């Protein structure tokens, strides 16, 4: 029986795929059959490691450097992906900070993620009539290099105290939800933001 999670002939462009959630997502989508473009900014070594793991598994993958703060580089990234692999199927990654405002100093980050949540809904309304579904995944506290840099052990312990399941999440747990949304198993899910936070924020 055809698996609803089969992503054969789909194309994924995963930004930030040199580590953390992005790398796990790229590998998971490739394992399910998608052709994958790894977008990265500075971490060329991490991107190459991700690319090699996917390629060694016999999957189609390219790595493309770009700074997504600049519109012309985003266009180049997408154009190169389409040229090498085909038209892209896309999911947005937001954050629990878009709901809570994040920690001290996280205002710009939280604001950008809140805007992306709203933009997900706007795009979903515009594109659904054309057969394009737009959804988002909102990670909570996930064990990634981000927290290794920006969160102290005491901060992590304080976060965990607010999470009903009693632990931080993993990049793979986020990647699994992203893969689900990209698949036909989510064919009637449109404009939604799925929270992946162990119950820290329930909506």
CA distance to 2, 8, 10, 14, 32, per residue, from 184 (Å): 11, 11, 11, 19, 12
Residue 154, classed as helix, strand or coil, is: helix
Q: Is 109 a catalytic residue?
A: yes
What phi, psi does 80 have (nearest 5°)? -65, -40
The tokens describing 155, both together, are 């901060």
The tokens describing 42, both together, are 């500075």
Which residues touch 134 (CB under 8 Å, ≥6 apart)?
Answer: 90, 91, 92, 120, 123, 124, 127, 128, 190, 191
Give the position of tokens 């089969």: 6
Could you tell me how far CA 163 lies from the centroid of its own chain?
Answer: 21
Residue 149, classed as helix, strand or coil, is: helix
Residue 71, classed as helix, strand or coil, is: helix
Q: Which residues are catalytic?
A: 109
């Amino acid at each position: 029986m055809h698996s609803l999670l089969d992503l054969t002939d789909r194309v994924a462009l995963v930004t930030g795929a040199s580590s953390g959630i992005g790398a796990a997502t790229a590998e998971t989508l490739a394992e399910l059959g998608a052709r994958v473009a790894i977008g990265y900014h500075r971490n060329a070594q991490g991107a190459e490691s991700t690319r090699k793991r996917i390629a060694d598994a016999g999957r189609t993958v390219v790595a493309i450097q770009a700074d997504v703060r600049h519109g012309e580089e985003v266009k180049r990234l997408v154009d190169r992906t389409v040229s090498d692999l085909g038209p892209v199927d896309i999911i947005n990654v937001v954050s629990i900070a878009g709901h809570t405002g994040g920690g001290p100093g996280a205002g710009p980050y939280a604001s950008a993620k809140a805007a992306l949540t709203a933009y997900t809904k706007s795009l979903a309304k515009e594109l659904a009539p054309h057969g394009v579904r737009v959804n988002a995944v909102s990670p909570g506290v996930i064990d990634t290099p981000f927290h290794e840099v920006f969160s102290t052990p005491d901060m992590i312990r304080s976060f965990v105290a607010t999470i009903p399941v009693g632990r931080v999440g993993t990049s793979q747990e986020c990647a699994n939800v992203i893969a689900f949304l990209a698949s036909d198993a989510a064919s009637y899910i449109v404009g939604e933001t799925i929270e992946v936070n162990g119950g820290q924020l329930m909506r």
